[in-house]
Amino acid sequence: MESSPWAGPRRPTVVRLLLLLQLFPALFVDRGGAAAGVDKGTSVYPAAVVYPHHSRQISWKPRVFLYQHFLSDDEVNHLISLARAELKRSAVADNMSGKSTLSDVRTSSGAFLRKGQDPIVAGIEDKIAAWTFLPKENGEDMQVLRYKHGEKYEPHYDYFTDNVNTVRGGHRYATVLLYLTDVAAGGETVFPLAEEVDDAKDETLSECAQKGIAVKPRKGDALLFFNLNPDSTTDSVSLHGGCPVIKGEKWSATKWIRVASFDKVPHAQGNCTDENESCAKWAALGECLKNPDYMVGTTALPGYCRKSCNVC
């Protein structure tokens, strides 16, 4: 008889939760999507109930799961309405400095929504925490994205290679993509290095999506994938991308979840140091005024070049 995975010494809480997710990836809590007796298009929030039939495993290498009808139509429309007027060209993190830079690798437009910005956003964040078994405080602000015809995000990793972006909360352990619209053609999320299964390819997928395991964007669905292995090492097969939109327009929202709390301030406000050796050069080029969030920081999170910007 095989031994139970729960046998032996009592496991730490986090380890037991992660093991539960490994064994039962579909047992997620739903508070706003479609459910037995609840119309997909309503904003009714029933009591917390488990709906395992809503979720299915897409891949094991990397670990990818799809939850159908995770969001109601009202929730989807609310996220889009909050972001529409705030859209700006999306940026990527520079591999060396960690600074946000514009790149042809990513051509979408996006806007960030503050954590708990309103009751609807807070409710969605609660659902994500319940689904992933990961603390709400580990999540970053949600980013809403719009992809027009031809716009895409080339294959990339969500974990970091610099030492700047991991100071607050560590690596991005998991990513949740919320699909806010249907897309007539293209716009799939593709995992080029995923371990292929024997199932026949979907001929309706775009050429980009044929290069790996892919998921079509469907309004209200949510995609969960892990950027780190269970032992906390980076997962090299978690490479993923957003295929070009061929027909229609794609809206989505991303919630990145860190290893540790993203809400905790890593440095005291009065700390007068530079966290990057290039701070003096950037300050001389005017970055203290051009990029104040990174250089100087905010009340909640001090910047990385406070000394060179003469703010302490």
Distance of alpha carbon 214 from alpha carbon 199, whole angstroms: 12
Mean pLDDT of the chain: 81
Q: What percent of the chain has pLDDT over 90?
A: 50
Q: What is the pTM of this model?
A: 0.70
Distance of alpha carbon 214 from alpha carbon 175, whole angstroms: 16
Distance of alpha carbon 196 from alpha carbon 250, whole angstroms: 26
**Tokens found for residue 111:** 């806007």
Question: pLDDT (tens digit, 9 = 90+) per residue, 233-268?
Answer: 999 999 999 999 999 999 999 999 999 988 876 655
Task: Note whether 282 and 256 are within 8 A (CB).
Answer: no
**Hey, where are the domains in the chain?**
52-258, 266-312
pLDDT classification of 120: cutoffs 50, 70, 90: very high
19, 124, 127, 162, 180 from 236: Cα distances, Å: 21, 29, 28, 16, 28
Distance of alpha carbon 180 from alpha carbon 115, whole angstroms: 18
Beta bridge partners of 222: 67, 178
Q: Kindly state the helix (H) or strand (E) to which residue 287 belongs, with its residue range.
A: helix 287-290
Distance of alpha carbon 285 from alpha carbon 296, whole angstroms: 14
pLDDT classification of 10: cutoffs 50, 70, 90: very low
Distance of alpha carbon 89 from alpha carbon 260, whole angstroms: 28
Distance of alpha carbon 124 from alpha carbon 120, whole angstroms: 6
pLDDT classification of 36: cutoffs 50, 70, 90: very low
**Tokens found for residue 205:** 């997928």
Has domain 52-258 been given CATH number 1.20.1270.360? no
Average pLDDT over residues 85-113: 70
What is the predicted pLDDT for the residue at 212? Answer: 94
Tell me which residue of 81, 77, 91, 82 sits closest to 114, measured CA to CA: 82
DSSP characters for 29-87? EESSS-BTTB-TT----PSPEE-GGGEEEEETTTTEEEETT-S-HHHHHHHHHHHHTT-
Dihedral (Cα; 165, 169, 170, 175), 10-degree rounding: -90
Distance of alpha carbon 295 from alpha carbon 279, whole angstroms: 8
More confident residue, 99 or 114: 114
pLDDT of 43 strictly over 90: no
Question: pLDDT (tens digit, 9 = 90+) per residue, 161-180?
Answer: 877 888 888 899 999 999 99
Give the lowest-confidence range in 9-13, 18-22, 34-38, 270-274: 34-38
What is the predicted pLDDT for the residue at 304? Answer: 85
Beta bridge partners of 101: 92
pLDDT classification of 79: cutoffs 50, 70, 90: very high
